[in-house]
Amino acid sequence: MATRTDAPTRREQILKEAARLFAERGFHGVGVDEIGAAVGISGPGLYRHFAGKDAMLAELLVGISGQLLTGAKQRLKEAGEVPAPEAVLDSLIEGHIDFALDDRPLITLHDRELDRLRDSDRKLVRQLQRQYVELWVGVVRALYPRLAEPAARSAVHSVFGLLNSTPHLARPGSLPGRATTAGLLHRMARGAFAAAGAAPAA
C-alpha cells in the first residue's frame, strides 16, 4: 500500500477508507453505508467490489502481510548475490518503517481484528508473517553471527514491536515530522539489534 505512487483504484480507495474507519471505531462499529459514503458511492454499490465487510478485512490483513514479505524479498534481491548484511538490514528497516508510518490503521486492525478472520485467512496471515520474520532472522544472523537463532528471532519480534508502536506515538499530525520520526525509529531499531548482537551467548 505505502509503495504505490500511481492513482489508487476504486477497490484501493474502499480498502483505505475501510481500514481507517475500522481502526477508529472497530469492525462492528462501522456499517457498509458509512464506508460507501467515505468513497462517494452507495453502500450497496460496495458489493460490486467486495462480498461484504469480512472480505474487506481479509483483503486488508492478508494483503499487507503479503506486501511486506514481497517487499522484503525484493530488497534482498536488489542487494545482489553477495549482499552486505548491514546494508540489507538498513533496507529492511526502512521498508518496515514506511509501512509503520504510512499504514498505521492496518497495525491497529491487526492487533484488534485478526481473530475475526476465517481460519483459512488467519492461517495465511500467520504463514506470511512467519516467512517475513525468518527472512529478517537470516539477515540479522549474517550481521551478528554470535547471535543464536532463537535470540535473533526474539530480537526481530522486539524490533517489530518497536516499529509497530506508531499508532500509539501521538495523534495523527502531531508527530515531529515524517523524516525525523523515521530517522529516530531507524536508530532505535539498529540500536536494539546491536545490543542483542553484543550480548553474551546464552
Give the model confidence (pLDDT) of 136-184 as tens digits: 999 999 999 999 999 999 999 999 999 999 988 766 556 678 899 999 9
The pLDDT mean for the chain works out to 90
**H-run or E-run covering 183:** helix 178-198
In this prediction the pTM is 0.88
Please name which of 60, 167, 67 lies closest in space to residue 116, comparing C-alpha atoms: 60
Region 112-126: what's the mean pLDDT?
96
Q: CB neighbours of 172 closer than 8 A, spacing ≥ 6? A: 104
DSSP state, 5?
-
Query: Could you give all domains of the chain from N- to C-terminal order, each with its CATH number?
Result: 54-198 (1.10.357.10)
Question: Is residue 97 predicted with pLDDT exceeding 90?
Answer: yes
3-state helix, strand, coil in the chain (%, to 5): 75, 0, 25
